[in-house]
Amino acid sequence: MSNGPLNGIRILEVEAIGPGPFAAMMLADLGADVIVVHRPRTGPLPGLKDKPLTDRGKRSILLDLKSEADRETFLRLAARADGLIEGFRPGVMERLGLGPKECQKVNPRLVYGRMTGWGQDGPQAPLAGHDLNYLALAGALWSAALPHERPSVPPTLLGDIGGGALYLVTGMLAGFLAAERSGSGTVVDAAIFDGAAHLQNLLLSVDGSTAGGPPARSNPLVGAHWSRTYRCADDRFVSVQCLEPKFYLTFLERMGLEDDADFLANQFTPAAWPRLADQLSARFAEHPLHYWEALFQETDACVAPVLSPEESFWTPHNHARQTWHETEDGLQAVAAPRFSGWPVSSPPPVPDRGQHSAEIMAELASEFAEVSQKKS
């Protein structure tokens, strides 16, 4: 268990993959006591580490939720928790007898967090889907392409984490505050579809209309020559996104284009973007990445190298902030955001499956004995 502003909060998490475990990890990073209910199994799941980093800082108990005795243990844990996180399809927890009704019966203050792709209702709710599907139907994938090109596949982080896990965390925290005031818990219906749609309110607040530009695609950061990645001479890539005119001018100065009338006049002229991007592509291809890193170092040109996490670990910025840590469980990023009064520390270890079963069962037995003694 880590030290942080959520000390004293207990979360019961049902083993899953993707955004649910990430949300629970984030709450553990912030100091919550997270007990993850791992299911008995004979081997690792395909494509998933036996000890995923999203389990770091949690305590693990093995329970078979199809077993009556283990379901009773689960309800005893739920009775002593502030929050619960599950990521099954709608109706699964109800069929197990562990839905919100049953859990809030033993704990009226419980904040019951539900993480799905489509949400708890609607025609898509019972259907399978993945990150790309949720983003597509929510309208979030529409702008993820250069004009007249097919939308690209963004990192899973955009839907699973941006539209999913972070909205679940926000919902859980709001639920805790409401329970503190009212004494009643709530059910948090966190859907990636909803979160991905909500994220677009920022883009819809920006005037994306451009004379001569492609219709409907409203993202002003897609297509511009000043908002792209470029290939360098060593086949590495550099990112450029100098949106504001003053930063754009700084970029042009470093590129030796400060007197080029075409670049100066057409920062926001979509018809000129392909031509100007071709010119920048040719220039960036003249030198390797380290040349451009040095050229733009400590400037407001909004240029940065495209690095792997392992390369990011060695950057001066990471050296200063200690965001990436090398641990016994591999390379990890520390908890975010940061708080005054709680120093940044190395990520806690990832538990073995069921590592804390005996410890947690002993706590339940002790708490039961205390309650029985008070009643007598």
Q: Is 130 in the active site?
A: yes
> 102 in helix, strand or coil?
helix
Q: Give the C-alpha separation, 70 to 229, whole Å.
A: 52
- Concatenated DSSP letters of 320-351: HH--EEEETTEEEEPPSS-BTTB---PPPPPP
CA distances from 64 to 96, 126, 254, 315 (A): 11, 24, 62, 45
CA distances from 278 to 174, 224, 230 (A): 48, 11, 10
Answer left, alpha or beta for residue 223, where phi above 0 means left and psi between -120 and 50 means alpha.
left
Q: Is 194 in the active site?
A: no
Out of 130, 198, 290, 319, the active site residue is 130
Instruction: Name the nearest CA neighbour of 66 among 86, 40, 100, 85.
Output: 40
Out of 82, 160, 189, 194, the active site residue is 160
Question: Any idea what DSSP says for residue 39?
Answer: P
Residues near 68 by beta carbon (within 8 Å), at least 6 away in sequence: none
> Going edge to edge, which strands form the sheet with 33-38?
59-62, 33-38, 10-14, 83-86, 111-116, 186-191
What would the two tokens of residue 173 be? 């925290």
What would the two tokens of residue 288 be? 């390797």
Q: Give the C-alpha separation, 220 to 251, whole Å.
A: 19
Q: Give the C-alpha separation, 196 to 139, whole Å.
A: 8
Q: Which backbone phi and psi does 332 adopt, to 5 degrees?
A: -140, 155
Q: Which backbone phi and psi does 8 adopt, to 5 degrees?
A: 100, -15
Helix residue ranges per DSSP H, 162-258: 166-182, 192-199, 201-204, 245-255
The catalytic residue positions are 130, 160
